[in-house]
Amino acid sequence: MNILVTGGAGFIGSAVVRHLINDTEHRVMNLDKLTYAGNTESLASVAGSDRYQFSQTDICDRPALDALFADFQPDIIMHLAAESHVDRSIEGPADFIETNIVGTYQLLEAARTYWGQLSGDKRASFRFHHISTDEVYGDLEGTDDLFTETTPYAPSSPYSASKASSDHLVRAWHRTFGLPVVLTNCSNNYGPYHFPEKLIPHMILNALAGKALPVYGKGNQIRDWLYVEDHARALVLVATTAAVGETYNIGGHNEKQNIEVVHTLCELLEELHPEKPAGIAEYKELITFVKDRPGHDLRYAIDASKIAADLGWKPQETFETGLRKTVQWYLENPDWWQRVLDGDYRLDRIGEDKGAA
């Protein structure tokens, strides 16, 4: 099939593209605006495939979307393009409203127009797969509660509110216009090629540099951690097999407090990279508690039993095996993350400032 992946140069999107090229026979069109978090170097291993194409396109650009749909003729759209960092959404919500809400609207309309022109088997098999987050549910009060596919939405941040809005748009286009959609909501992802502003890579790289490891509040916020390659497999499974109108929560069954994650990273670095920066006896000395961010959700936890029962998916990695692989990858790939930190990964882009990230 022809699969159009929006945001395919991002962290999760690039994992999806690599999985599609390496483990399936599908053809892939990667549509990405290449904002600061988009990195084509994450796709170097598959960029030479004759089943892979790339288009630097903004999902808010409707004429460009129409032209791309007409040329590529997608059978499935996997919509991952989104602004996704909570702290950035607090500092500047406008980009989140534009990309996550307006961009999703433009993509839905382009998809509806394209789908309306299809016929026969191609029309019947077409799918619009919208990829979202568990943050749309807000946070959980009880220690035993879990997010299910029917948990009411209660977003806390501009980011999660914009993603909740996009989820509602997708369901509305299904109910009102009949667009064949499926949705997924995932827990926190981690793994190789993760942009360094996020918790796990930020802590790894700061520790290697002998810098402070800043932990919000007391570090008691709980997240369910999902290895990104497990998530990519789940997403492709949903996109290609799920029934129209279904929603699936995808989680890693790994609830951890943030401070626990940071301590585990320090222990792994002690084992895998004992050569510490000057003046540091133990990595954990670098842990620093900082003022909590506004509206910080305390606990997320996903019930992923539905996707296991319906589609047979379960994560292959435990938190321990996945985190070890992640730390090892960052230790073995300094060229990738150093170019991100330096801003060099943006040097060959079209139509943007070539300065630092």
Predicted confidence at residue 292, as pLDDT, reads 85
Residue 121 clears pLDDT 50, i.e. is over it: yes
Residue 287 within a domain: no
Non-local (6+) Cβ contacts of 271 within 8 A are none
Residue 290 within a domain: no
Q: Answer for the pair 105, 170: CB distance below 8 angstroms, yes or no.
A: no
pLDDT grade, residue 36 (50/70/90)? confident
Rounded (10°) CA dihedral 154, 159, 161, 164: -90
221 vs 325: which has the higher pLDDT: 325
Q: How many residues does the chain have?
A: 357
Residue 330 within a domain: no
Predicted confidence at residue 345, as pLDDT, reads 83
Predicted confidence at residue 143, as pLDDT, reads 64
Residue 357 clears pLDDT 90, i.e. is over it: no
> Which alpha helices (DSSP H) does the chain contain, by range?
11-23, 62-72, 86-91, 94-96, 104-116, 120-125, 158-177, 199-208, 228-241, 258-272, 305-311, 319-332, 334-342
Q: Which of 277, 182, 172 is nearest to 239 (CA)?
A: 182
pLDDT grade, residue 63 (50/70/90)? very high
- Mean pLDDT, range 193-219, rounded to an integer: 95
Number of structural domains (the chain) is 1
- Mean pLDDT, range 336-356, rounded to an integer: 67
Range of the domain at 240: 2-194+225-253+300-318
Non-local (6+) Cβ contacts of 279 within 8 A are 210
- Mean pLDDT, range 339-346, rounded to an integer: 88
Residue 180 within a domain: yes
Q: Structure tokens of 42? A: 């994450």
Predicted confidence at residue 86, as pLDDT, reads 87
Weakest mean pLDDT among 73-87, 104-118, 175-189, 292-306: 292-306
Predicted confidence at residue 134, as pLDDT, reads 93
CATH number of domain containing 149? 3.40.50.720
pLDDT in tens, 251-291: 998 999 999 999 999 999 999 999 999 999 999 999 999 99
Q: Which of 351, 323, 316 is nearest to 262 (CA)?
A: 323
The sheet with strand 188-190 has its strands ordered as 188-190, 222-227, 255-257
Residue 221 clears pLDDT 50, i.e. is over it: yes
Residue 182 clears pLDDT 90, i.e. is over it: yes
Q: Are strands 222-227 and 188-190 parallel, antiparallel or unpaired?
A: parallel
Catalytic residues: 134-135, 159
Q: Structure tokens of 87? A: 């702290």
Q: Answer for the pair 224, 188: CB distance below 8 angstroms, yes or no.
A: yes
Non-local (6+) Cβ contacts of 94 within 8 A are none
Q: Which of 231, 221, 223 is nearest to 192 (CA)?
A: 231
Predicted confidence at residue 228, as pLDDT, reads 98
Residue 324 clears pLDDT 50, i.e. is over it: yes
Report the 10 Å Cβ neighbour count for 68: 20
Residue 131 clears pLDDT 70, i.e. is over it: yes
254 vs 142: which has the higher pLDDT: 254
Q: Answer for the pair 20, 3: CB distance below 8 angstroms, yes or no.
A: yes
pLDDT in tens, 38-47: 999 999 999 9
Residue 282 within a domain: no
Predicted confidence at residue 350, as pLDDT, reads 43
Residue 186 within a domain: yes
- Mean pLDDT, range 109-123, rounded to an integer: 98
Residue 203 within a domain: no
Residue 50 clears pLDDT 50, i.e. is over it: yes
Residue 311 clears pLDDT 70, i.e. is over it: yes
Name beta bridge partners: 52.
28
Residue 238 clears pLDDT 60, i.e. is over it: yes
DSSP code, position 341: H
